[in-house]
Amino acid sequence: MNGLIVSTIFIIAILLFIGTIVLQVILSKKENKWLGLILPIIAFLFALLVTFNVVDTNNYTEHQIQYNEEGEIIGEITIKHEGSSDTSSTALTIATTFLIYNIPTMIYLFIYFGSREKINLKNQLDKMTIQDL
């Protein structure tokens, strides 16, 4: 059952990503150049959000409640987890997270600049044709 759920979520995620790729191609081919930058900006902001969340989750407090057989609370324990003080490890984690989550941003930007280059080339050819007339 769990394998089916995981594979279904994976397939949905792949379909959503393919859908955003198609949307990026469509938006990048529009005459308004700002439309093609919508998805890269959203992806970049998401990468920033995840990166800041990784930094924030290094320190947290865990509450554990102990119950007896009747379901009554017999004790409570509070454990404070503090992130590692190793700054190089933290910096590597932050950098890796930021780079991995920016892969979609890079894909969207490659699509955008490739499409814009084709549009610019077409516009230059149109100008040359008009000048030839």
Q: State pLDDT tens for residues 63-74.
A: 788 888 888 888
Q: How far is CA 101 from CA 13, 26, 44, 52, in A?
A: 15, 23, 8, 12
Per-residue model confidence (pLDDT) at position 82: 67
The whole-angstrom separation of Cα 62 and Cα 80 is 6
Per-residue model confidence (pLDDT) at position 7: 92
As a 3-state breakdown, the chain gives helix, strand, coil percent values, each rounded to 5, of: 70, 15, 15
Per-residue model confidence (pLDDT) at position 17: 92
- Give the rounded percent of residues in the chain with a pLDDT score beyond 70: 89
Query: For residue 21, is pLDDT > 70?
Result: yes
**Residue type at 17?**
F
Per-residue model confidence (pLDDT) at position 72: 83
Question: Considering only CA atoms, which of 41, 14, 17, 46 is closest in space to residue 112?
Answer: 41
Under a CB-based contact definition with an 8 Å cutoff, are residues 81 and 61 in contact? yes
pLDDT tens profile 29-68: 998 889 999 999 999 999 999 998 876 665 667 778 888 8
pLDDT-derived band at 85, boundaries 50, 70, 90: low
Query: For residue 118, is pLDDT > 90?
Result: no
The whole-angstrom separation of Cα 101 and Cα 88 is 20
Domain ranges across the chain? 2-56+87-132
Query: For residue 84, is pLDDT > 80?
Result: no
